[in-house]
Every structure is written in C-alpha cells, then in structure tokens.
Structure 1
C-alpha cells in the first residue's frame, strides 16, 4: 500500500482523515504498532501535528480509529460474502468461515497488532465489545435459517463462534495454522453448534 498524497493536495476533512488512516496502516505494516504515534503519523503523511491531533486527539484515539477502520473493511467483506451465500448449512458455514479468516489474513496482522497496542485501555474494552456485536449479528443472520435453537441460545452460540474465530485468527497470524486450516476449524464449529433444521 503506498502512502496517500501529502498535505500539498487540498483534501476535504473526510478525505484527510482517510489519508491519515491509510498512512497509519502503512506505518503499522512496515514499522509495527509501537511506532504509530501522532507525531510520526504527521511526519509520514506530510502534515502538521495539529492536523493529526484535530482528527484523533490522542494516540489511543488514533489506534481506536484505525482498529475500527480495519474492522469495518473486514465486516463489509463478510457481509458481501453472505449476500452470495448458498442456501445449505455446509456451504454457508464454509463460505462464512472462509470470508472471516480471509479478512484476518488480508490485514497482515495489522488488526491484531493495533488491538495489542490498545490492550488494557479502558476505551478499547468498549470498542472491542461493539465490534464483536457486529460479527455476532452477522453470524446470527447467516446461521439462523439452519438453526433449531431458540433465538437467545443461537445468539449465545454465535458469541462463542466469534470468540473461536478470534482465537483461530490469532493462531493463524502466529503461524500455528494456515488460513485454510483455521477456516475449516471455524466452519466445523459452526456446523456443530447451531442445531440444524
């Protein structure tokens, strides 16, 4: 990913924010999350520090914005895959697990690195729960047509499936499983968890 145009280009506020987030992602990929500071981001993006502070306020604010941006891209990829989902549980579980794991593989570990940099922060706990709820909702929507479980129990099973997906994606990023192996494991968990009609 190349670094977007510098401040010499006149950008709207939304375009500038996106440019800063794109540059932040490059920093995390190339140098690691520890190097992502507001000052370093300003230097790499070719803007003044006040511009970066105006958009993110603090380093945790920047990390949270980046975490949400990466996650939003992942969730959208899963949604798109669901739109094309076949109508059999086996195929739906495979497609959903493949899309979920591919999103993590595509981030080159950036999502996990930013999440680790935020670990322990009070703000991160709330953000993490908000993002997990999005995935739980996606899983419920995808798996509900095949489930014999009461709605509340299906929801809780999907909470567990998303947790398993996070653990499997972390194992994949650490090199303990391939993307294919992680997706196969998640799909198997899905098929075994929902109770089929």
Structure 2
C-alpha cells in the first residue's frame, strides 16, 4: 500500500471510529488498533490527535467544496439556482458526514491552533459565497456580517437535520430563503446592522 493509500485508509477508519464510538474515543492508539497498523504508522501520518482532528476537518471541508463546485458548474446563472446550490451542498455534506462532524468541530474548539484552522476554512467558504452571490446584489457588496449569519444558519439547520429534528428538505428550503433574503437586502443597499450607534 502506498503512503497516500495508507493515509486515505486511516482517514476512512478515523471517520468510522468517530461514527461508531464518538469523537472522544478518537486517539492515535485507538486508530492504529482499528486500522490494524502499528502506532508509529499513525503517528507518522498525523503526529498528534490535534493533527488528526485537523485532517478530518480538512477532509470534510474539501468534500463540501467539491460538492458545491460541481453543483455550481451545472447550475443556472440565477440567484435562485446559485443559492439553492449553496444551501443543498452545505446540508448534504453535513448529512453525508452524519453526526460525526459536530463532534469533530467541537473538539477543534478545544485548541487555539485548531480553532484558527476552522476559522480559516470558514472564511474561505464565506468568500466563495460572496463571489457566487455578488452578481445578484446589483453592484452592492454583500456585508460580511450577513454572510456569517448565513453560515450560522447553515450550521444550525444542517445539525438539526442530521439529528432528525427537521428534514433535510426543510433545512435546505430555510437556508435558501435566508440566502436569497440577504442578497435582496444587500441589493437594496440596506445591509444588516452589525451594531447600533448611539
């Protein structure tokens, strides 16, 4: 097995371990047992538990980006179509990963370095959404605060769908409405207020 194949196998087994036993059970030693490899092999690939968590988050983010890019390439150049792609891609990726990704994200919050990785990836996602939605905002820049609000809604709705509190279709429809509303607000030149001035 090549190094890359071993790496991909370890990532798959790590996700399986998180799915079956929870993020708290994820350690490099436990991963080596489940993957039936020696501990030095696992340590060589990830270094630390924090390194493994960062890889899992990156894997999730890359799949989310690939799903969205593919769907955007096939979509019509309309606000409804592009917003539907963002909403569907986000929800579908979280559902594909099931209940594991919230645990990984929670574990990332425990370390300043890992929290920075999460913030960096989220900032990239927000900027991508800004570029995708910009043509429909009639020359007005979509406020960053609105895009962060969209991301918060995307996380909450996707997590609720993942645990069965709402359906995937409800999550997608509500997120689609949120996205189209923030673009409409920006195009009217009335961005969401981020603070009140006295």
TM-score by length of 2: 0.86
| Worse overlay, 108-117 or 42-51 | 108-117
Deviation, structure 1 residue 166: 1.3
The answer to whether the aligner puts 1:147 opposite 2:141 as a matched pair is: no
The answer to whether the aligner puts 1:176 opposite 2:165 as a matched pair is: yes
Aligned to 2:150: 161
Question: Deviation digits for residues 68-92 of structure 1, max 9, x if unmatched?
Answer: 1122111110111111121221222
Q: C-alpha distance in 2, partners of 1:17/1:93?
A: 34
Deviation, structure 1 residue 20: 0.8
CA contact (8 A) 1:79 1:138 kept: no
Match of 2:82, SS? helix
Where do 5+ consecutive residues of structure 2 fail to align?
Answer: 189-198
TM-score by length of 1: 0.87
Pick from 38, 46, 54: which aligns with 1:56? 46
Where do 5+ consecutive residues of structure 1 fail to align?
Answer: 1-10
The answer to whether the aligner puts 1:94 opposite 2:84 as a matched pair is: yes
Pick from 34, 50, 59: which aligns with 1:69? 59
Consecutive aligned runs of 4 or more in structure 1 exceeding 4 Å deviation:
none
Trace 1:11-90 onto structure 2 (pairs within 5 A).
Answer: 11-90=1-80
Q: C-alpha distance in 1, partners of 2:36/2:67?
A: 31
Q: How many residues align?
A: 186
The answer to whether the aligner puts 1:103 opposite 2:78 as a matched pair is: no
Trace 1:133-144 onto structure 2 (pairs within 5 A).
Answer: 133-144=123-134
Pick from 158, 168, 181: which aligns with 1:192? 181
